[in-house]
Amino acid sequence: MLFDAPGDPSALRVDNVPVPAPVMDEVLVRVVAAGVNPIDAKTRAGAGVSPGIAAYPVVPGFDFAGVVVSSPFEAHPLQPGAEVFGMAAVPRTPGSYAEYVVAPSHSLAAKPAALSHVEAAGVPLAALTAWQLVVETAHAHEGQRILIHAGSGGVGHFAVQFAAYFGAHVTATASGANAAWLREIGAQVVIDHTTTRFEDVVADVDVVIDLIGNAKARTGTRSLEVLRPGGLLIVVPRGSWPDVAIDAEAAGVRATTFVVSPDGTALGTIARLLDSGAVQVYVEKVYELGDAAAAHRQLEAGHTRGKLVLRVSDG
């Protein structure tokens, strides 16, 4: 699945391209399933990582789960036949909306045994983003008060679980339809953003993980009001609020933007949490690879619970 120029979801089309050739530490993987992420749709539309595109057509897709075809060397830990999941290096190399993908070995991990390939494909980018937000940036710990915007989305539902796992008091914003589910996976308080302004009911939080930014209803700016003095605001949609650092300083709080790192070691830790049942991935819908445009339309419509996944081949 590829696109020849930026456009709406109809720009995606199926074609035959050469199997990518791995170099250096790259692993060639036969893709069984590919996760669908907002960054994929943004890149297809001309934003996202599109500034790094050197030539068209482009095969999108970061997330994948599949089977190793070739390894960098004979004694490498990931040998042919191993089931793995991880992130591709789009647009430096073709993405995961394809039968084969190459990826740096350090961005892969063994697929959780408890998960199918389809479930595993929904994990890497969203779970690594959540892990790096909650554990590595917010340093979640017992008693810490964390507010997570868009808690029912791909990144959000992992962030809720990781924060709760490490003992934080988790408040999440979401639609009312997702409230009960979010409480089941670790949120202690869920605020229905369709009926309640979060700043009216929450205050003095230590960390806000903002997965919305100022792209909608000035969520980012309003979040400054609910942080304790010196609290931390982490804004993921970086382009939605260019003055975040200035505004945060004026409000007496700290702020940072964020970019995910495709860290296979952290992904291996997440895999163990998934295998133990301490964390779960929720896949709302599975599309065939040829229906990627429909998956992008659903993603861009919003309100997806958890993840969307493309089935690429048989496991």
Name the residue among 28, 19, 34, 16 with its Cα closest to residue 311.
Answer: 34
Q: What's residue 68's pLDDT?
A: 98
**What are the beta bridge partners of residue 30?**
67, 100
- d(CA 206, CA 230) in angstroms, rounded, equals 8
Inter-axis angle of helices 124-131 and 154-165, nearest 10: 40
Q: What's residue 238's pLDDT?
A: 83
- d(CA 252, CA 254) in angstroms, rounded, equals 7
Q: What's residue 216's pLDDT?
A: 83
What are the helix (H) ranges across 215-302?
A: 219-223, 244-251, 264-276, 292-301
Region of residue 302 (left: phi > 0; alpha: psi -120 to 50; beta: else): left
With a CB cutoff of 8 Å and minimum separation 6, the contacts of 65 are 31, 32, 33, 83, 84, 85, 111, 115, 117, 118, 120, 121, 123
> Can you give the pTM of this predicted structure?
0.97
Q: What's residue 233's pLDDT?
A: 98
Taking only the tens of pLDDT, the chain with its 315 residues reads: 999 999 999 999 999 999 999 999 999 999 999 999 999 999 999 999 999 999 999 999 999 999 999 999 999 999 999 999 999 999 999 999 999 999 999 999 999 999 999 999 999 999 999 999 999 999 999 999 999 999 999 999 999 999 999 999 999 999 999 999 999 999 999 999 999 999 999 999 999 999 999 988 899 999 999 999 999 999 999 888 889 999 999 999 999 999 999 999 999 999 999 999 999 999 999 999 999 999 999 999 988 999 999 999 997
Q: Are strands 227-235 and 205-210 parallel, antiparallel or unpaired?
A: parallel
Q: What's residue 215's pLDDT?
A: 84
Contact, 5 vs 60, CB < 8 A? no
Q: What are the chain's domains? A: 9-123+281-311 (3.90.180.10), 126-257 (3.40.50.720)
Q: What's residue 217's pLDDT?
A: 86
What are the helix (H) ranges across 92-218?
A: 117-121, 124-131, 154-165, 179-184
- d(CA 78, CA 268) in angstroms, rounded, equals 13
